[in-house]
Structure formats: structure tokens, C-alpha cells
């Protein structure tokens, strides 16, 4: 096959366009981070909350529920996690949830917690993505669990799902995971310290009748 000048020119333009798109996507992803922070001796990239829609930021809201104080409730449709507090309030966190085909619902408990956890992709994930490593050490900048993991068990059996941090702050508020509940790294650290072992968890399709209006919210630092 012979290439003429026009083919070479068009090919060069296509490569240039592809490189520009890749560079733009990288720049957009990088813009979700700003500076660094240190946690338990590990340096990690801080979330650039100036780029985040305010509704996904951690805040105290009005919340009416029959669940006991201290329970965690996840509204997967609206991408919020609520930690129920006293006086009909809750701390609300924006989260990323399972994409289509990976959603799950039901009750569980936080029966294990880990600081800067090691990540071991489950066998079924490695079947879908054979390029994945067998494991990634905790604290690695390539570890998708981030600084904290809270493991969800049901009747003593690991569900395989966790609350954890993320390498992709832009995925918060979206259906993006393989079933786990993603949080901003700062929020994963915050929730971790508020939830002792044995914390009850309820994951629901939605709780529209209980969800507060944004105007009722108070930022939490």
C-alpha cells in the first residue's frame, strides 16, 4: 500500500488531535487535585474542592429517620451517604456508587477498618481487566482505595464491598465503581474516625422522602 502526501498529512492531524484529547483529559483529571497533605506519614494529593460542585461537599443536613443514631445510610440514586446524628440531623457526604450491573442494596456492618489499605483486585475483576496487578501496596499513588477502607460484612461474611477513598474525585456524584462506595479522600478519613467497628449500614436505591434540600445544609470542616 502506497501512502501519498494527503494520507500522511491526515494521519498526522489525527495523531495530533488524539494527543490533544489525551492531554486535555489528563489536565482535567489533574485539576481535581490541589497541593498535598500528609496522613499517618503518607503524602497524598489534596482534593481541589474549588472544582467540586458544592452539593457533593461534606455538610450537616436535616434528616428524619427511624434508624438509630450512628447508622450509615447510602442513597445510591442521589449519590449521598448519610451518617445519622442527634436532633434529626446527619452528616451528608457526596459519593460515587456502582455503575449499571454492579449496584447492590441491603444491610451490612462495618466489621473491619484499615488505614492506607493494601488493594487486592478480586478475581472476577482481574478476569475483566487482566492488566491489573495482583495487588497494590497501601499508600501507593496508584492504590484506588486511597487513605481508608471500611469493609462491609453481612452476618460475619465479607460482602466484597467497601467505603473507601478514590483516585478520581471527578467520579463523586456518578455511577462509576464496581459496587464499592467511593468518597473524597478527605471524607473517607472523616467517616473512618466517626464509625467504630460494628457500625450499622443500610444501602438503598433512594430515600427521596427523607433527603433534605440543599438550602438546609451547613458545611462541616
Judge whether 164 counts as a catalytic residue: yes
Residue 42: Cβ-neighbour burial (10 angstroms; 0-12, 13-18, 19+): middle
Cα four-point dihedral sign 206, 55, 144, 188: negative
SS3 assignment, position 29: helix
Q: What span, in angstroms and rounded, lies between the C-alpha atoms of 43 and 39?
A: 6
The catalytic position among 78, 79, 129, 164 is 164
Residue 144 is placed in which grid cell? 484506588
Judge whether 180 counts as a catalytic residue: yes
The catalytic position among 129, 180, 195, 206 is 180
Let me know the angle formed at the C-alpha of 179 by 81 and 89, rounded to the nearest 5 degrees. 10
Residue among 116, 174, 163 nearest 143 (CA)? 116
Cα four-point dihedral sign 44, 37, 115, 83: negative
β-strand partners of 151: 112, 162
Catalytic residue positions, numbered = 164, 180
Amino acid at each position: 500500500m502506497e501512502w501519498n502526501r494527503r494520507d500522511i498529512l491526515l494521519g498526522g492531524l489525527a495523531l495530533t488531535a488524539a494527543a490533544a484529547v489525551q492531554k486535555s483529559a489528563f489536565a482535567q483529571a489533574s485539576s481535581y487535585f490541589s497541593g498535598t497533605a500528609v496522613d499517618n506519614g503518607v503524602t497524598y494529593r489534596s482534593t481541589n474542592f474549588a472544582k467540586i460542585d458544592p452539593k457533593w461537599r461534606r455538610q450537616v443536613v436535616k434528616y428524619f429517620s427511624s434508624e438509630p443514631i450512628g447508622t450509615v445510610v447510602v442513597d445510591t440514586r442521589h449519590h449521598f451517604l448519610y451518617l445519622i446524628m442527634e436532633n434529626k440531623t446527619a452528616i451528608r457526604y457526596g459519593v460515587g456508587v456502582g455503575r449499571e450491573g454492579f449496584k447492590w442494596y441491603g444491610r451490612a456492618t462495618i466489621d473491619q477498618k484499615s488505614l492506607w489499605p493494601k488493594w487486592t483486585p478480586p478475581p472476577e475483576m482481574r478476569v475483566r481487566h487482566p492488566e491489573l496487578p495482583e495487588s497494590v501496596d497501601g499508600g501507593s499513588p496508584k492504590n484506588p482505595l486511597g487513605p481508608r477502607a471500611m469493609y462491609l460484612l453481612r452476618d460475619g461474611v465479607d460482602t466484597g464491598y467497601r467505603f473507601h477513598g478514590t483516585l478520581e474525585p471527578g467520579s463523586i456524584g456518578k455511577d462509576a465503581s464496581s459496587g464499592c462506595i467511593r468518597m473524597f479522600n478527605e471524607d473517607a478519613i472523616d467517616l473512618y474516625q466517626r464509625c467504630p467497628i460494628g457500625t450499622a449500614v443500610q444501602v438503598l436505591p433512594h430515600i427521596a422522602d427523607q433527603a433534605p434540600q440543599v438550602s438546609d445544609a451547613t458545611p462541616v470542616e
